[in-house]
């Protein structure tokens, strides 16, 4: 039983790490980063940074209408699903 208590935290940490790595990869049916960048630029975004897959969508930051914005993009259509001023 004592050995289990020593191993359990390591196993839990490994499981969390592996789950995060898998969850944060673009799906096979997602549009590419380049396509997302084109759609964001067409929607008025400039200086786009931090574009990455996260929790089932593309997300990042960019400048729109002179304000720094955080955004979420649908991974299949490229439509903006959330945008708000970055505080």
Please state, in angstroms and rounded to a whole number, the distance separating the CA atoms of residues 53 and 72.
Answer: 10
CATH (domain of 81): 3.10.450
- Both tokens assigned to 39: 């759609």
Number of folded domains that form the chain: 1
- Beta strands 46-54 and 67-73 are unpaired
DSSP 3-state of 65: coil
Domain residue limits at 10: 2-85
Per-residue pLDDT tens digits of the chain, which is 87 residues long: 555 456 655 544 444 444 444 458 999 999 999 999 999 999 999 999 999 999 999 999 999 999 999 999 999 999 999 999 998
In sequence order, what E strands does 2-87 have?
A: 46-54, 57-64, 67-73, 80-85
Token pair of 15 as six digits: 């499981």
Distances in whole angstroms, Cα of residue 74 to Cα of each of 7, 27, 61, 66: 39, 12, 15, 23
């Amino acid at each position: 039983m004592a050995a289990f208590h020593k191993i359990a935290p390591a196993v839990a940490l490994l499981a969390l790490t592996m789950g995060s790595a898998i969850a944060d990869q673009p799906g096979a049916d997602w549009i590419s980063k380049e396509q997302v960048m084109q759609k964001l630029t067409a929607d008025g975004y400039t200086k786009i940074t931090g574009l990455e897959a996260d929790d089932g969508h593309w997300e990042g930051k960019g400048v729109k209408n002179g304000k720094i914005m955080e955004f979420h993009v649908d991974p299949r259509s490229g439509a903006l699903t959330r945008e708000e001023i970055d505080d």
